[in-house]
Amino acid sequence: MSDRLRPQLYGIFGHPVGHSLSPVMHNAAFRHLEIEACYVPFDVADIEAAVQAVRTLDIRGVSITVPHKISIMPYLDQIDDAAAKIGAVNTVVNRDGVLTGTNTDGIGAVRALSEKGPIQGKRVAVVGAGGAARAIGFGVQSAGGKVVVFNRTVDRGRKLAEDLGCEFVPLSDIMQADTEIVVNATTVGMHPNSEKSPLPFEFLKPGMIVMDAVYSPLKTRLLEDAEARGCTQINGLNMLIYQGAAQFELWTGKKAPADLMLKAAEERRKPGR
C-alpha cells in the first residue's frame, strides 16, 4: 500500500479511557471530510512507552487525557509556547517524526463559556489544580477573566495560583468566595462516582454560570445542583467538542466540522447506545 493510500492513525492516551467520546467525534469528522484516517482509544499506564509507540507506528496525532497531561511532557521533542505556559499538554502533533506538545483545553473552555456570556472582567472560580485546571485558568485569563483557584490540596492549589498570578482559596473555605462563573476542572462526579459533587449545594447562586469539564455523565451532580439553584449550566461535552475541533485543525490543516462532531457525540450518548 502506498503512503498516499495508507490510512493515518490518530488516538487518545489516558487511563481510564473507555468512556471517551473523542473517537466517535474525530472519526465522524474524518469520514465527513473524506480523510483516510482512524482515531483509536489507547488505555495507557506507561506514558514513556506510549510516546515511543507514536514514533514506531507513525501515529500522526494524539489527544492526551488524565493522568498524562503533565507526565508526558519530558518525552516529547518540543513543547509549544501555549503548553509551556500552561504546564500541561493535551495534544501531540507528529510532523515528520518530530513530536510537539500543545494544549487546546483553554480554547475549548473559553469558547464554551463565551456562548453563555462574556468572560471579560468576571470573577471565575476554577476548581482543581491539575492539567485541565491549568489550561482553563490560563484560557480564562487570556479572555480577560479574573481567576480564583480552589483546591482541596493547599500546596498544589497555591502553586497553580502563583503560576497564574491569581488568588487561591482552599476548597474548604469556598463558601466565603464571591464568584460569577464556576468551572469544575476535577474528575469529581465522573462515572462511576456520579453521585458526588466538588462543591456544596449552598455555594451555587441564581444567575451563576456553572461549567463542568466532566462529560460522563453528561448531567453531573454539580450540574443537577446548579439547575436546582437557578444557575446557567454548561456540560463538559461543549468543552470537549471545541478543544477537539482545535486538535483536528492542528493535525489536518482543515476546518473542523464542529457541529457534526457534536451531533456524533450526542448520538453516541443516547440511551441504549
Residues belonging to the active site: 69
- As a whole number of angstroms, the distance between CA 215 and CA 19 comes to 9
Query: β-pairing, 61-64 with 91-95?
Result: antiparallel
The CA-based diameter of the chain, rounded to the nearest angstrom, is 63
Which of 42, 99, 98 is closest to 89 using CA atoms? 99
The separation between the first and the last C-alpha atoms of the chain, rounded to the nearest angstrom, is 35
- As a whole number of angstroms, the distance between CA 112 and CA 265 comes to 16
Which residue blocks in 13-74 are alpha helix, DSSP H?
A: 22-32, 47-57
Q: Order the strands of the 146-151 sheet from edge to edge.
A: 167-170, 146-151, 123-127, 181-184, 209-212, 232-234
Residue showing cell 483516510: 36
> Around 195, how many Cα atoms within 13 Å sit in the side-chain half-sphere?
0
The string of DSSP letters for 215-247 reads -SSSS-HHHHHHHHTT-EEE-HHHHHHHHHHHH
The total of other beta-carbon atoms located within 10 Å of residue 194's CB is 16
- As a whole number of angstroms, the distance between CA 224 and CA 214 comes to 13
